[in-house]
Amino acid sequence: MIESWRWYGPFDTISLAEIAQTGAAGIVHALHEVPYGEVWTREAVAARKAEITGAGFRWDVVESLPVHEAIKRGEGDLSTLFANYRQSMANLAAEGIRTICYNFMPLLDWTRTDLKAPVARGGTCLRFDTARMATFEIHMLGRTDAEGDYPEEVLRRAAAWFQASTEGDRDALLHAIMSGLPGAFDRYDIAGLRKALKGYEGIDRDTLRANYRRFLEEVIPAAEDLGMALCVHPDDPPRDILGLPRIVSDEDGIGWIMQAVDSPANGLTLCSGSLGANPANDVPAIARHFAARIRFAHLRNVAKEADGSFEEAAHLDGDTDMVALIAVLLGEERRRRDAGEDFAQIPMRPDHGHDLLHDMERESFPGYPLIGRLRGLAELRGVARALEQAG
């Protein structure tokens, strides 16, 4: 696997020189400064690539080339947005970047309720607390019918938390939920989020799937022509949020996408943490099932709780058997090499890490500290080396 590291460019407090000391060979990056729906010019791509390669790295994967909300809603004349997306793809391909990670989550990307949950032996982690999410939806957002999405015990705890919370507590909860949009230009307050949700009224699972199929039909033929792969990232968390349907949460959902436009260019970002937060998902089994379509891997772990809550675990310590999962990925790489296939190596990055030691004194994007991810990369590297030597 190609050991990679997510870097936020001019927005990142972690420098390329520091990343070099982690041992990572590749950079995963996006032009976060470009508003959604606008073209990534070849000049801008080339300039950023020169910065990355000049520091001794490869730029292997774009994460993410965002899908505009109007495309997800299927709203209005989308011809310009589709054309802009294809042109951005062409400009990336012209600079030798051929793997694009993206997601099709309505409105919000990854969602957490706590950005600094304490870890048992010190440090902090990201956490999704079902009762806090219920508090937000019912008592702060006032979403109609939200109570029907939660069991009675969760509703009781949500009401108790809201009654005991301060304005600062509620502001922190809103901030945490909005923090899954790195580089995005939309950050909502309560009124703004209510307005944004109205744009999705009447859009159910089938409608979202239809809009997604249309997107794939518009961009996958271009990816084939350019020798690229688009790799969908699973929903995080893998459940409906804010009454919005999520359709990339399990094996069935991924299978539908792969068949919607059946092409090697229609690929998968295997995110062990996103899929692992669904108790019904066997992540190594899902990886085996879709191995031929995996073009990129996010390796992280989560510890789940009975009510649907979960938090980021150390990379080798959560509910997913990371050794078994890495064995699947290495086996797929061997198969590709033996078959002489393109994209034989799978870029991998340590996803989300605990804030450890000096991480807690340094501002960074939530989930993306230096030391916590360095620990994760070292652990994953050790597993991969051991498996490779064992044959």
Q: DSSP for 218-233, please give it.
A: HHHHHHHHHT-EEEEP
CA distances from residue 201 to 185, 238, 243 in whole angstroms, order as listed:
22, 21, 10
Q: Is the CATH code 3.20.20.150 the one for domain 2-111+203-390?
A: yes
Under a CB-based contact definition with an 8 Å cutoff, are residues 302 and 281 in contact?
A: no
Q: Give, for 193, the enclosing helix (H) or strand (E).
A: helix 190-198
Structure tokens at 49: 């690539």
**Residue 6 phi, psi dihedral angles, 5° rounding:** -80, 130
Element (H, E) at 196: helix 190-198
Backbone angles phi, psi at 77, to 5 degrees: -80, 110
Q: If residue 84 lies in a helix (H) or strand (E), which one and from where to where?
A: helix 79-94
Q: For residue 119, what are the CA distances in angstroms to 14, 35, 111, 357?
A: 23, 36, 19, 12
Three-state secondary-structure class, residue 378: helix
**Sequence ranges of the chain with CATH classification 3.20.20.150:** 2-111+203-390
Catalytic positions are: 233, 271, 298, 351-352, 368
pLDDT in tens, the chain (391 residues): 999 999 999 999 999 999 999 999 999 999 999 999 999 999 999 999 999 999 999 999 999 999 999 999 999 999 999 999 999 999 999 999 999 999 999 998 899 999 999 999 999 999 999 999 999 999 999 998 999 999 999 999 999 999 999 999 999 999 999 987 655 556 789 999 999 999 999 999 999 999 999 999 999 999 999 999 999 999 999 999 999 999 999 999 999 999 999 999 999 999 999 999 999 999 999 999 999 999 999 999 999 999 999 999 999 999 999 999 999 999 999 999 999 998 899 999 999 999 999 999 999 999 999 999 999 999 999 999 999 999 7
Phi, psi of 323 (to 5 degrees): -65, -45
Report the relative pairing of strands 114-118 and 26-29 from DSSP bridges: unpaired
Interatomic CA distance for residues 55 and 87, integer angstroms = 27
Using an 8 Å Cβ cutoff, are 387 and 335 in contact? no
pTM of the model: 0.95
